[in-house]
Amino acid sequence: MNRTFKTDCIGYALFAILLLVVIPWAVSFDGFALNTYARYLALGMVAMALALSWGYAGILNLGQAVPFALGAYIMAMHLKLQASAHMPGGLPDFMGWTNVEALPWFWQPFHSLPVTLIAGIAVPVALAALLAVFMFRGRITGVFVAIITLAFLVAVQLVFIEEQRYTGGQNGLTGLAPLQLLGWRVDNYSTQFYYLVAVCLMTSLAIGLALVRSKVGLVLKAIREDASRVRFFGYDVARYETLAFCTSAAIAGWAGMLYVLVLEFASPTYMGVAFSLAIVIWCAVGGRESLVAAALGGIIVNLLEGRLSDMFVDGWTFFLGALFIVVVLVAPRGLFGLVQSAVRHAGKTIRSERGGARARWLATGMGARRIDNGGR
Amino acid sequence: MDAFLNQAFAGLSMASILLMVALGLAIIYGAMGVINLAHGEFVMLGAYSAWLLQTSLGLGILVALPIVFLMVALVGLLVERGVVRWLYHRPLDTILATWGVAILLQQLVRSVIGSESRYVAGPTILDGNLVLGGVVMSNYRIFLIFFSLAVVAATWFLLKRSEFGTKLRAVIQNKEISECYGIRADRVYALAFAYGAGLAGMAGALITPLVSVTPSMGTYLVVDAFLVVIVGGVGSLLGTVAAAGMVGEATAMFSMLMNDTIGRIAVLLAIIFLIRFKPMGLFPDKVRR
């Protein structure tokens, strides 16, 4: 067990305690507060998904909101169909207003919950895989990935707004039924629901950590540092990048499904440029080199937003903008980087004191031959 | 046929606006490698400056243009000195930091001036239309097309024929060596950034009669302008002109064949393909870096 693995385990355990014990206890199991926190956790989850591709593989995906919103829409479609069961032909209300005669074929499968749950992850992954293969086979990197994903995001959002007959357009999907999960009617203001979201976050985090701790994770980190060199070693760089991109999309789609359960509507703002860049902000604030830190970043920034925007409506946006500039300029590695360097600094101080004693011991001539590797 | 020509003119008019917005970006991105997401906010500030000068001092857009240029260039200078200059060696981070700047500037305008949309009257000399056969062309839009080309010419002169341009090109090619020859690279960068911001401000002032002025108007423009710069090829002025023309015309034509939104989507997808297969743009700069 090496040190970074130990750090990961400690971080994961502390995070689990925070989510499963500290937060519910701090709000004394109040349903409304837990719903708010469930929202933060879903957003933390998508920030964590971005850290997987941005922090580990160096793929800055400015369109991270696309898989998130797709997951959200798919879940919302299922719930909308449940809510419209008593309507003529089971048609959702907005389709009636826009003269849609029959339920379109791509809405049909979402009557079934298992299909919805699978599609909520599979559809974002399929789309991400398409885009990833398209980009990474062409060895597109860095800034160009950022621009392509940004343009893709804008295009997808335009499609969803334009196809009002099928997607609810600007209004999105509202008036959703509560989810029926194995006979349990999910109440999004209940403690159980909070734990459902928390467990999903912990599970996805475990999956993410398993990926980055594996050999794949090591190759991804190598690609981030120098893609050509990894290619010379015979690795198929595009395949690894696609894997990271798709895993990230899967978790984002999952987070999107949870997000709809929390908020009870899906809206095209979920795939807006502002939202997508906000995900990047959360990830950067927490620290993109650590999955736990990125998730925490999403939770902290949204928590602050919830608190501060109540007090100062305009002030919050100023704060957000300033926060972003300061983080990039002063702490490009986020809170994680700050904590890490603080810990290292503390460790160094302790060690240098020990080192002093050792130096005196060496000075007596007892260990003169070992002086070369004595320092650390 | 007339419908086609009218649409072609609309595309040309759109291209001229895109060109002015993208030109500033072409310098900032092409010369310095800074992905400036606050560029749309410079456009927005230009539009608001024009509105402010018109409502408070009664200045027309054309008279106010130099003042707007200087005002927004000053903002650009402050942004460069305060934020961007620390990030020249981290291009991806400039995306994030300038997005923060964009949020700040937008909120600043929203808090001080308010978020309702504002309207600015166009210059009265340029009222009316030029009618050629079945094609109706607004005089103001014709003026914009020629003006944008004039701005390109001025920029070309500045970059290729002036002392400042020579210094800038030297710094782009090799910062360290130019500094050895006594060029103050940080000052050159700052001025180039300010010039790019000023151009964006001027574009903002000029489009005020055509669009409504809101704090978030820049967000839509910046994505388009970026695509124009990338399509045109980094560091190539002529490429930017050609790309602006292509994107403008393509959007107009797709819009005529399908509808506005589908047209925009088609153009976005086309551009994604273009970046994938020609990431250096259609007209890449031949200069070795």
pLDDT at A346: 83
Of the residues A233, A250, A278, the one at which a domain ends: A278
B128 has pLDDT over 50: yes
Query: Of A151, A273, A280, which is closest to B272 when you measure between CB atoms?
Result: A151
Q: Do residues B42 and B56 touch, judged by C-beta distance below 8 A?
A: no
A244 has pLDDT over 90: yes
CB atoms within 10 A of CB A39: 21
Residue A307, in any domain of the structure:
no
A55 has pLDDT over 90: no
Q: Please, which pLDDT band fits residue A200 given cuts at 50, 70 and 90?
A: very high
Q: Do residues A239 and A135 touch, judged by C-beta distance below 8 A?
A: no
Instruction: Read off the pLDDT of residues B137-149 as tens digits, 9 standing for 90 and up.
Output: 788 888 888 999 9
Q: Please, which pLDDT band fits residue A358 given cuts at 50, 70 and 90?
A: low
Of the residues A278, A310, A326, the one at which a domain ends: A278
Residue of A nearest to B87 (CA): A329
Q: Is residue A230 domain-shared with residue A90, that is, in the same domain?
A: yes
Q: ipTM for the complex?
A: 0.82
Residue of B nearest to A61 (CA): B92
* A143/B35 Cβ within 8 A: yes
Instruction: Read off the pLDDT of residues B209-220 as tens digits, 9 standing for 90 and up.
Output: 888 888 888 877
Q: Please, which pLDDT band fits residue A328 given cuts at 50, 70 and 90?
A: confident
A373 has pLDDT over 50: no
Average the pLDDT over A287-300 and give the result: 89
Residue of A nearest to B34 (CA): A143
Q: Please, which pLDDT band fits residue A19 given cuts at 50, 70 and 90?
A: confident
Write out the E strands in B121-279.
Answer: 129-132, 135-138
Cα separation, A28 vs B68, whole angstroms:
56
For residue B97, list chain A residues with Cβ-Cβ distance below 8 A: 324-325, 328-329
Q: Is residue A198 domain-shared with residue A346, that is, in the same domain?
A: no
Position with higher pLDDT, B252 vs A373: B252
Q: Is residue A274 domain-shared with residue A371, that is, in the same domain?
A: no
For residue A144, list chain B residues with Cβ-Cβ distance below 8 A: 230, 275, 279
Q: Is residue A35 domain-shared with residue A109, that is, in the same domain?
A: yes
pLDDT at A69: 93
Residue A161, in any domain of the structure:
yes
Residue A29, in any domain of the structure:
yes
Q: Please, which pLDDT band fits residue B91 given cuts at 50, 70 and 90?
A: confident
Instruction: Read off the pLDDT of residues B9-51 as tens digits, 9 standing for 90 and up.
Output: 888 888 888 898 888 888 888 777 788 888 999 999 999 998 8
Average the pLDDT over B168-189 and give the result: 88
Cα separation, A39 vs B29, whole angstroms:
37
* B219/A273 Cβ within 8 A: yes
The token duo for B41 is 């906010």
SS (H, E, C) chain A: CCHHHHHHHHHHHHHHHHHHHHHHHHCCCCHHHHHHHHHHHHHHHHHHHHHHHHHHCCCCCCCCHHHHHHHHHHHHHHHHHHHCCCCHHHCCHHHHHCCCCCCCCCCHHHHCHHHHHHHHHHHHHHHHHHHHHHHHCCCCCHHHHHHHHHHHHHHHHHHHHHCHHHHCHHHCECCCCCCEECCEECCCCCHHHHHHHHHHHHHHHHHHHHHHHCHHHHHHHHHHHCHHHHHHCCCCHHHHHHHHHHHHHHHHHHHHHHHHHHHCCECHHHHCHHHHHHHHHHHHHHCCCCHHHHHHHHHHHHHHHHHHHHHCHHHHHHHHHHHHHHHHHHCCCHHHHHHHHHHHHHHHHHHHHHHHHHHHHHHCCCCHHHCCCCCC
Name the amino acid, one letter, at A120: G
For chain A, give the mean pLDDT: 84
Give percent of chain B above pLDDT 70: 97
A340 has pLDDT over 60: yes
Q: Is residue A32 domain-shared with residue A145, that is, in the same domain?
A: yes
If DSSP codes are grouped into helix, strand and coil, which group holds residue A181?
strand
Average the pLDDT over B178-200 and give the result: 90
Q: Is residue A364 domain-shared with residue A254, that is, in the same domain?
A: no
For chain B, give the mean pLDDT: 84
Give percent of chain A above pLDDT 90: 27
Residue A12, in any domain of the structure:
no
Average the pLDDT over A30-37 and give the result: 84
Determine which of A201-205, A216-220, B61-65 has the lowest per-residue pLDDT on average.
Answer: B61-65
Q: Do residues B263 and A159 touch, judged by C-beta distance below 8 A?
A: no
HSE, CB side, 13 Å, CA atoms: give it for residue A24: 17
Q: Is residue A236 domain-shared with residue A370, that is, in the same domain?
A: no
Burial class (CB in 10 A: 0-12, 13-18, 19+), A7: middle
Q: Please, which pLDDT band fits residue A357 given cuts at 50, 70 and 90?
A: low
Å from B61 to nearest chain A CA? 30
Position with higher pLDDT, A146 vs A86: A146
The pair phi, psi for residue B171, each rounded to 5°, is -65, -40
* B104/A321 Cβ within 8 A: yes
pLDDT at A371: 44
Q: Please, which pLDDT band fits residue B261 given cuts at 50, 70 and 90?
A: confident
Residue A233, in any domain of the structure:
yes
A83 has pLDDT over 90: no
Average the pLDDT over A235-240 and give the result: 91
For residue B272, list chain A residues with Cβ-Cβ distance below 8 A: 148, 151-152, 155
DSSP A268-293: GGGGSHHHHHHHHHHHHHH-TT-HHH
Q: Is residue A265 domain-shared with residue A339, that is, in the same domain?
A: no
CB atoms within 10 A of CB B119: 11
Å from B209 to nearest chain A CA? 26
Q: Which domain holds residue A340?
A: 335-376
Determine which of A110-124, A296-310, B246-260 has the lowest per-residue pLDDT on average.
Answer: B246-260
Q: Is residue A270 domain-shared with residue A339, that is, in the same domain?
A: no
Determine contact: A277 vs chain B, CB below 8 A: yes
A314 has pLDDT over 80: no
Å from B159 to nearest chain A CA? 25
Choose from B80, B276, B278 for mutation: most chain A CBs within 10 A.
B276
Cα separation, B289 vs B287, whole angstroms:
6
For residue B104, list chain A residues with Cβ-Cβ distance below 8 A: 317-318, 321-322, 325
* A321/B103 Cβ within 8 A: yes
Residue A301, in any domain of the structure:
no
Cα separation, B122 vs B47, whole angstroms:
12
pLDDT at A367: 45
Residue A317, in any domain of the structure:
no
Residue A25 Cα distances to A31, A227, A297, B67, angstroms: 12, 46, 21, 59
Of the residues A237, A255, A278, the one at which a domain ends: A278
Q: Is residue A83 domain-shared with residue A173, that is, in the same domain?
A: yes
Instruction: Read off the pLDDT of residues A248-280 as tens digits, 9 standing for 90 and up.
Output: 999 999 999 999 988 888 888 888 888 898 898
Query: Of A146, A158, A322, which is closest to B261 when you measure between CB atoms?
Result: A158
CB atoms within 10 A of CB A302: 21
Assessment of whether the complete model's pTM goes beyond 0.90 = no
Domains held by chain A: number: 2
A247 has pLDDT over 60: yes
Residue A9, in any domain of the structure:
no
Determine which of A293-302, A336-345, B252-261 has the lowest per-residue pLDDT on average.
Answer: B252-261
Residue identified by tokens 């990338």 is: B230
Average the pLDDT over B143-163 and give the result: 89
Residue identified by tokens 């810990």 is: A343
The secondary structure of residue A177, as a DSSP letter, is P
Q: Is residue A215 domain-shared with residue A348, that is, in the same domain?
A: no
